[in-house]
Amino acid sequence: MRTTRSKAAAAARIEAARTARTAGELLEQLRSCFVRTQTWQHAGRYVSALVSDIPKRNGWTIAQQAGDRTPDRTQRLLNRAVWDGQAAMSQVRRFVVTGLDAVAGRRTRRGLRIAALDETGQQKAGTATCGVKRQCMGCAGRLANGINTVHLAYVRERVGHALVAARQWIPAEHLADPGTRSQMGIADGLVFRTKGQLAIDICTDAYADGVVFDFVCGDEVYGNCTPLREFLEERQQAYVLRVASNFMLTLNAETRMTCAKAVALLATDKRRWQVRSAGAGSKGQRWYAWAWIAVGSRHYLLVRRHLTSGDLAFHYCYVPQSQPLTLARLVRAAGLRWPVEETFEFSKDSFGLDQCQARLHTAITRHTVLVMTALAICAITAAHLKTRTDTQAPPPDTPDQQPPTEPGMIPLTIPETARLLAATWQQPKPADHDTHWRNWRRRHQARARWFHQRTRLSREYSLAS
């Protein structure tokens, strides 16, 4: 038992050292994005607070965790400090791609490189936040008041994944009103962009940094965007994009039909369907029946059918002449879009992506970049330690097989890596630090309450008169 415990303790020390080294490397690369050293150092403390175990990550809790006496420095970092958020995002992107590619390079089967496009939101109250609007919010599962941001995740098959780019979607009415633009901190040169157009901007930034993708994947928002598809085809970029059942296909000069009709007419033969896995999940392989139909020069309709319910999902695909073309490769690409959802989950639960209370456009962008920094550190560390920390027992062969005596452990996950980093970065604070913040919050809330009451009195006097 002592030997086992000593090995576990040694492994924990190695993992913690690796995490701290990765954090130091990325933060050092970000140094060039900041004009003042003090701002860069505070950004590092902001990231350390994001990976800590505080329940909520807002200006007050981050400042308290970072060791400040008030939230002023944190608010200045997001709103007024001079540093380039887009340049910082570029550094994070290069760090993620280089790190995941380095891990893949040590393996015989290097796997596909996927650009997964998707958007995620944050519910907001009121109308003062940049980009806030009543809209369809995936995080709420309904129409709700909130903001939406388009993200790009870099997915390396069998290695790892992390967010590498983001652009906030801003409604046209916010951009059309000069007063609203000024109130929300929107730069003068910013013009309205649809989510598909934001995806083009994001991919352009990635290509400018020299990032290479085997496939670009996305859901129906991006599959239905004709300018995005044309942009990718001009760059000879292969893609597998989800489309709706009523998406129109051009089979030849005289024949056009929807995806649903094409499947009903051309995929009736059972021999056209092949059962293949869309990738391994936590519960095992995700098996579906797949079929594909050629719909033009280098264009294909990839159809996924659920084995139990028979529900169909449609993917519009393009593969240039220079790349290999097989059904298995398209299926692998389609199955590698799901990690972006897991990335959103980690970013929100472990790093507070959706807990930002900032209102200005610049502040929201900067918070997103710093969350991406924290995620990148943990994702790269987890990828490097994946094989070393995977001690799982072999999967069962039969439904009635007895469980193993020792199940082992799954590889080190991104949330667990964050906990390792939090323990490494934890710094001592003055004895009265918690007491000071408890008193500061109560005093600030008392001051805010007094001003709210005065405002209400003014409203009541005006109504009475």
DSSP letters of 247-288?
-EEE-SSS-EEEHHHHHHHH--SGGG-EEEEEEEETTEEEEE
**Residue 166 Cα to chain centre, angstroms:** 8
Alpha-carbon gap, residue 82 to 282, rounded angstroms: 43
Number of other residues whose CB lies within 10 A of the CB of residue 293: 18
Paired strand residues for 373: none
CA torsion through residues 174, 176, 180, 183, sign:
positive
Q: pLDDT means per 10 residues in the chain (465 residues)?
A: 50 75 94 96 96 92 93 96 97 97 85 96 90 82 88 96 97 94 92 97 98 97 97 98 95 87 91 92 88 92 95 97 94 94 94 93 97 96 89 88 90 91 84 90 90 82 65
pLDDT at 27: 96
Element (H, E) at 177: none
Query: Contact 276/287 with Cβ under 8 angstroms?
Result: yes
Alpha-carbon gap, residue 146 to 128, rounded angstroms: 11
Q: What are phi and psi of 431, to 5 degrees?
A: -60, -30
Alpha-carbon gap, residue 389 to 409, rounded angstroms: 8
3-state helix, strand, coil in the chain (%, to 5): 50, 20, 30
Would you mind telling me the total number of residues written for the chain in this entry?
Answer: 465
Q: Which SS3 state, helix, strand or coil, does residue 224 take? A: coil
Enumerate residues 6+ apart whose C-beta is below 8 A from 279. Answer: 285, 286, 332, 335, 336, 338
Q: Are strands 113-123 and 215-218 parallel, antiparallel or unpaired?
A: parallel
Half-sphere exposure of 217 (CA within 13 A, CB side): 27
DSSP string of 369-431, one letter each residue: HHHHHHHHHHHHHHHHTHHHH--PPPPPSSTTPPPPS----PPPPHHHHHHHHHHHH-----T
pLDDT at 268: 87
pLDDT at 17: 81
Ramachandran quadrant class, 296 (left: phi over 0; alpha: psi -120 to 50; beta: rest): left
Nearest by Cα to 278 from 287, 268, 269, 270: 287
Alpha-carbon gap, residue 22 to 386, rounded angstroms: 15
Enumerate residues 6+ apart whose C-beta is below 8 A from 69. Answer: 436, 440
Enumerate residues 6+ apart whose C-beta is below 8 A from 213. Answer: 113, 114, 115, 206, 237
- Burial tier of 441 (Cβ tally within 10 Å: 0-12, 13-18, 19+): middle
pTM of the entire predicted model: 0.92
Angle at 65 between CA 63 and CA 69, to 5 degrees: 45
Query: Contact 56/352 with Cβ under 8 angstroms?
Result: yes
Number of other residues whose CB lies within 10 A of the CB of residue 262: 21
Query: Contact 48/61 with Cβ under 8 angstroms?
Result: no
Enumerate residues 6+ apart whose C-beta is below 8 A from 40. Answer: 27, 30, 31, 33, 34, 83
Token pair listed for 176: 């059309």
Element (H, E) at 155: strand 142-156
